[in-house]
Structure 1
């Protein structure tokens, strides 16, 4: 009723306050997830993104990014969903980098029409990395025999319980180069002539926002509230977009509608530990 009354008033009598929906995309980018950890993926962010772009009177959508990267597939899917909705709803996208937008985090950041970062934040790392462990010596020490039977000579490449093979590593590097080329193409498409002619730009190196500005990786430095108020006026209101979920929904959602068994809880906890270790490794690359 209040909204309807406001629309009936003459334009001169209406409030000139602007509402900007805000999405927070914070964390490592990984497919899946567990009851104990929530990662960034298209599945976990699509609802937030669509809800933000559904705010009709908003001239823009603000996205706060703090991510060390992760899955290149999920990064690109999130990027594409943002761009598709920006074009469909005719809204500007302004990205704000907090601690870090690196690797897949930077891939999502280039979905913005503008990228604004704190001077001390980290941006870049336009590259592809694969990390794993080798356990072949460990299983020898504990007396475990590894048995693998395959149909197809390449079905067990890069098995962490077997010695690394040169041809397997070369195959992996070929895949990485193809993914890297896709990443570079996307950044060039979005940043265009803003990018500096620097030989280190696509080597996987990363920089503070101050250098990132000189390299054309970002458009400016500042904070979300100050920037948006300067752009849209002092009465600009920031509306944080979130998906409401209760405590049990967050903790037990992975198990469906039924209560989990002890085995399911233990398995989810184990998955959570591995995910936590992987996420910790991603953040530690940037001293965080």
Structure 2
């Protein structure tokens, strides 16, 4: 019987260990070959287990170090708040539920900042394109309440790259708004996104079957017709929300607004232009406002973020689905 090539090579010598194999006329050579293969397999298994343990230990050490770092951030902030300082609350990204810029987190941060006895003032650092009118309205109302409860503690909004729509809704509640020359600010308007695929379905010969209880329940269905009555109804809803937005801005900014109706058209301007239009009060960054306006250069961050394990999970990538939901959300009215 002709032996396979790989066994013939092993006859000449073990390629992995360099140990000679017994001659083929030895009746025990097959057993020796099996024993050697089994031993090599066990060595490979032990090596794989060792590397597996090393990898698991490395992941555990990373998570432990990350947890300690996040905890120390909180401890450091608490210890640092003892001296006179300017409190900082960040509004970053989409303003929506379950984000870092949700009303719940912003309100908690604002309350902590106003309640801190050694905080001379509060800076709302904004870098956001806007978001939910409901979430923005919650924060606007809370700022108004806190200003009444703490009349000696001013709050300043400082816009970074973008302070648009719902973000400007929030900013307008502050005592004053400061911007950079290149900041994009304004966009006082409301939008609702949808699509219409009715003609495409007709051309493809596809019949849409939508069952509803309620004559207008499917008003925003992208595969159904969108008639004049539907359009008028949705436009009325958006106009109502827009009116609430305009009223809030006028309440917050008052006589400082120098422009006309174009301010409320959804357009946006640079920071330099916004000062001339009365949408903002001057140029400045958080550090310059803290140093020159407040008189307490030390900034301490009171922003409320996701809890410890949510933040750990986010850093290792398990919150991707949540981010996609935050970014999408078609059909929801947004101040953007």
Superposed pair shares fold, TM > 0.5: yes
Q: Deviations over 1:148-195 (max 9, x none)?
A: 322221211121222322211111111111111111111111111111
2:169 is matched with which residue: 101, 107, 126? 107
Of the three residues 98, 102, 118, the one matched with 1:57 is 118
- Cα deviation for residue 129 of structure 1 reads 1.2
**Post-superposition shift, 1:245?**
5.3
Distance 1:147 1:43, change over 3 A: farther
Mark the runs of 5 or more structure 1 residues left unpaired by the alignment: 1-16, 254-264, 280-284
Q: 1:274 to 1:165 in 2, by over 3 A?
A: farther
Aligned pair in 2 of structure 1 residues 161, 244: CA closer, same or farther (>3 Å)? Answer: closer
Alignment match, 1:152: 214
Distance in 1 (CA, whole Å) between partners of 2:111 and 2:292 is 26
How many Å apart are 1:251 and its aligned residue? 6.1
* Structure 1 residue 141 displacement after superposition: 8.3
**DSSP 3-state at the match of 1:25:** strand
Out of 120, 131, 145, which is 2:193 matched to?
131
Match of 1:29 among 68, 80, 95: 95
What whole-Å deviation, never above 9, does each CA across 1:170-227 have from its counterpart, x for those lacking one?
A: 1111111111111111111111111114331111111001110010000000111012
C-alpha spacing 1:228/1:128, structure 2 compared with 1 (3 Å)? same
Aligned length: 245
- Take 1:173 and 1:55, find their aligned partners in 2: how far apart are those partners? 44
Q: Which has the larger radius of gyration?
A: 2
Kindly tell me: are residues 182 and 64 of structure 1, through their superposed partners in 2, closer, same or farther at Cα, counting changes over 3 Å?
A: same
1:45 counterpart (93, 97, 106): 106
Indicate how the Cα distance of structure 1 residues 138 and 52 shifts in structure 2: closer, same or farther if over 3 A, else same.
Answer: farther
- 1:158–1:169 CA contact under 8 A, matched in 2: no
Q: 1:196 aligns with which of 246, 255, 258?
A: 258
Write the distance in 1 (CA, Å) between the matches of 2:237 and 2:94: 22
* Structure 2 unmatched runs, 5+: 1-82, 331-335
Indicate the residue corresponding to 1:243 in structure 2.
Answer: 304
- Output the TM-score relative to the length of structure 1: 0.76
More displaced, 126-135 or 165-174?
126-135
User: 2:79: which partner in 1?
Assistant: none
Q: Distance in 2 between matches of 1:39 and 1:240?
A: 14
Provide the residue aligned with 1:276 in structure 2.
327
CA distance in 1, matches of 2:321, 2:206: 21
What is the CA deviation profile of residues 27-82 of structure 1, one whole-angstrom value per residue up to 9, with x for unaligned ones?
11223x4xxxx352212322222211121132211110111112111111111112
Please give the root-mean-square deviation of Cα atoms over the aligned residues, in Å.
2.7
Q: CA deviation at 1:243?
A: 3.4
